[in-house]
């Protein structure tokens, strides 16, 4: 979607003519900017750089902007590298804990088998001693000798029972110690998992949010657009697409500074978001352009919403450098149609926006 702030205005300030070399360099750097990721393209630094490249009039200025672009891309790659390294460290930590848990379960299985073997061995000895006592009772008539045999067998049983209890007691203490350590590891694993989930949620939030205005960014909008087109084509849903552009935004930046321009973007985003429904989607598409998807909305109702939003913005303003700053919006509107793709719907709404700009701005047009 192209910027529309360069359309003819009532008052124009002549710019210094750019050299052919500078003009070619401008186009090359701007084309390179357009190839960057949506996450990077939604940043305020990116927008300021785009404007600076567009305004550059000589090779020296372009060289400075090219260096700034390289620095922006390098910072982005460093941040991605740091995030990847942090994720890899966390996953390595989780892997080690899972391996320890697997070893614990293997040890528990072996220990359980050892316990079964020990109990079977004790049961076998106990049965053997009892059988021997029964045989002695049947074969001897000497009560004194029988008493000695009984005492001897009971002594053997008692000794074996003592050994068995000691082994089982040691096994129980070892099991409790291992269970306690494993509970600690499981708690650590849970904390690591929660930390990773929180980090992923934060990364997802950052990846889908425009950092300047706090609303959805272009990447998130593209996902919603794909789903909206599917709903219209497959389920016959009625959805309207609004493309809204701040009028004369470059004049705000030039007259009051980029801080005032940023404030204008935040004010517009806040006011639009406050007046849309929870099911609607509002996103900053780039620069001074916003896009809204109105769920369950016919075209005539969508036009009423667009006019309400335009009137709302027209009625607000703020002060920049101790001077009043007025904000107005132009809006292009279209209803999504069966067979639409995100590109075809945007192209239609963009043409409607262009008509609104050509028609005098601060107005809404429908296609």
Q: Are 230 and 347 in contact (CB under 8 A)?
A: no
Work out how many domains the chain is built from and give that number.
2
Asked if the structure places residue 24 within a domain, the reply is no
Q: Give the C-alpha separation, 103 to 109, whole Å.
A: 10
My answer on whether 216 and 362 are in the same domain is yes
In this predicted structure, what is the pLDDT of residue 331?
A: 98
Same domain, 243 and 362: yes
CATH number for 270: 3.30.70.270
DSSP class of residue 143 equals H
CA distance 108 to 208: 46
Q: Express each pLDDT in 135-184 by its tens digit.
A: 666 666 666 776 777 777 677 777 777 777 788 778 778 778 877 777 77
84-136 residue pLDDT tens: 777 677 777 677 766 776 676 677 666 667 666 767 776 677 677 666 666 66
- CA–CA gap between residue 3 and residue 199 (Å, rounded): 35
Give CA torsion, residues 290, 296, 298, 304, to 10 deg: -50
Distance CA 141, CA 130 (A): 18
Identify the three-state secondary structure at position 189. Answer: helix
Are 120 and 195 in a shared domain? yes
> Shortest CA distance to 182 belongs to which of 113, 168, 190?
190
Catalytic machinery residues = 288
How many helices (DSSP H) and strands (DSSP E) are in the chain? 10, 7
Place of tokens 């321009």: 261
340 in the same domain as 224 = yes
Residues 217, 197 share a domain:
no
Is 250 part of any domain? yes
Q: How far apart are CA 70 and CA 258, in angstroms?
A: 22
| Residue 233 covered by a domain | yes
Last residue of a domain, one of 208, 224, 254: 208
Q: Indicate whether 66 belongs to any domain.
A: no
Lowest mean pLDDT among 68-72, 132-136, 216-220, 342-346: 132-136
111: Cα separation from own chain's centroid: 44
Q: Check whether 1 has a pLDDT greater than 50.
A: no
Specify the higher pLDDT residue, 73 or 345: 345
Same domain, 196 and 221: no
Q: What is the mean pLDDT of residues 250-277?
A: 93
What's the confidence (pLDDT) of residue 319? Answer: 82
pLDDT level of residue 330 (50, 70, 90 thresholds) = very high
Residues 220 and 312 reside in one and the same domain? yes
d(CA 307, CA 275): 12
Instruction: Place 287 in a pLDDT band, splitting at 50, 70 and 90.
Output: confident
Q: Which residues pair with 290 in a beta bridge?
A: 244, 284
Range of the domain at 296: 210-366
Is the same domain home to 214 and 347?
Answer: yes
Report the distance separating Cα 350 and Cα 342, nearest Å.
12
Q: What percent of the chain has pLDDT over 70?
A: 73
Helix (H, G, I), strand (E, B) or coil at 366: strand
**Are 156 and 290 in a shared domain?**
no
**347 within 8 A of 302, measured Cβ to Cβ:** no
Residue 78 lies in a domain: no
At which of 192, 208, 224 does a domain end? 208
Residue 20 has pLDDT above 70, yes or no: no
Q: In this model, does residue 17 exceed pLDDT 50?
A: no
Whether residues 238 and 339 fall in one domain: yes
pLDDT band for position 266 (cuts 50, 70, 90)? very high
**At 274, is the pLDDT very low, low, confident or very high (cuts 50, 70, 90)?**
very high
Confidence of residue 68 (pLDDT cuts 50, 70, 90): confident
Summarised one tens digit per residue, pLDDT across range 187-208 is 777 777 777 777 766 666 667 8
* Residues 251, 361 within the same domain: yes
Higher pLDDT, 263 or 168: 263
Say if residue 338's pLDDT is above 90. Answer: yes
The structure tokens listed for 45 are: 């630094």
Identify the pLDDT of residue 191: 78
Residue with the bigger pLDDT between 118 and 268: it is 268
Considering the domain boundaries, does residue 13 fall inside one? no
251 pLDDT band, cuts 50/70/90, is: very high
Position 322 in a domain: yes
Please tell me whether residues 201 and 251 are part of one structural domain.
no
pLDDT of residue 141: 64
Q: Do residues 246 and 303 touch, judged by C-beta distance below 8 A?
A: no
Best CA proximity match to 265, nearest among 186, 325, 176: 325
In a domain, 122, yes or no: yes
Q: What is the pLDDT of residue 140?
A: 62
Give the count of alpha carbons within 13 A of 198, CB side only.
6
Last residue of a domain, one of 208, 238, 256: 208
pLDDT of residue 200: 66
Q: What is the mean pLDDT of residues 337-349?
A: 95
Whether the predicted pLDDT of 25 surpasses 90: no
So what's the pLDDT on residue 106?
A: 72
DSSP-derived secondary structure letter, 9: -
For 339, which DSSP code? Answer: T
pLDDT in tens, 30-52: 777 766 655 555 555 666 777 77
Q: What mean pLDDT, rounded, does the chain reach?
A: 80
* pLDDT, mean of residues 349-363: 96
């Amino acid at each position: 979607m192209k910027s529309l702030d360069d359309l003819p205005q009532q008052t124009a300030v002549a710019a210094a003519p750019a050299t052919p070399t500078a003009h070619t360099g401008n186009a090359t750097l701007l084309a390179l900017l357009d190839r960057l990721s949506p996450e990077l393209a939604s940043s305020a630094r990116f927008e300021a750089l785009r404007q600076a490249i567009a305004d550059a009039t000589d090779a020296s200025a372009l060289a400075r902007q090219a260096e700034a672009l390289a620095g922006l891309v390098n910072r982005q790659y460093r941040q991605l590298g740091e995030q990847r390294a942090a994720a890899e460290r966390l996953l390595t930590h989780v892997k080690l804990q899972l391996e320890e848990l697997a070893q614990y379960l293997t040890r528990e299985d072996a220990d359980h088998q050892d316990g079964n073997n020990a109990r079977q061995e004790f049961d076998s000895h106990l049965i053997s001693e009892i059988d021997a006592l029964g045989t002695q009772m049947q074969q001897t008539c000497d009560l004194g000798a029988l008493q000695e045999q009984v005492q001897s067998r009971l002594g053997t049983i008692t000794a074996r029972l003592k050994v068995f209890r000691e082994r089982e007691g040691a096994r129980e203490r070892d099991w409790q110690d291992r269970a306690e350590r494993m509970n600690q590891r499981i708690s650590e694993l849970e904390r690591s998992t929660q930390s990773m989930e929180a980090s992923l949620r934060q990364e997802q939030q950052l990846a889908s949010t425009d950092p300047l205005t706090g609303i959805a960014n272009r990447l998130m909008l593209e996902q919603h657009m794909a789903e909206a087109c599917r709903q219209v084509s497959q389920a016959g849903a009625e959805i309207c697409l609004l493309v809204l552009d701040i009028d004369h935004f470059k004049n705000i930046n030039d007259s009051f500074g980029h801080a005032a321009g940023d404030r204008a973007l935040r004010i517009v985003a806040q006011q639009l978001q406050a007046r849309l429904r929870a099911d609607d989607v509002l996103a900053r598409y780039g620069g001074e352009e916003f896009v809204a998807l109105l769920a369950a909305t016919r075209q005539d109702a969508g036009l009423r919403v667009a006019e309400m939003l335009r009137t709302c913005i027209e009625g607000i303003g703020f002060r920049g450098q101790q001077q009043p700053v007025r904000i107005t919006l132009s809006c292009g509107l279209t209803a999504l149609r069966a067979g639409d793709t995100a590109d075809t719907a945007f192209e239609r709404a963009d043409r409607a926006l262009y008509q609104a700009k050509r028609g005098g701005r601060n107005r809404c047009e429908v296609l």
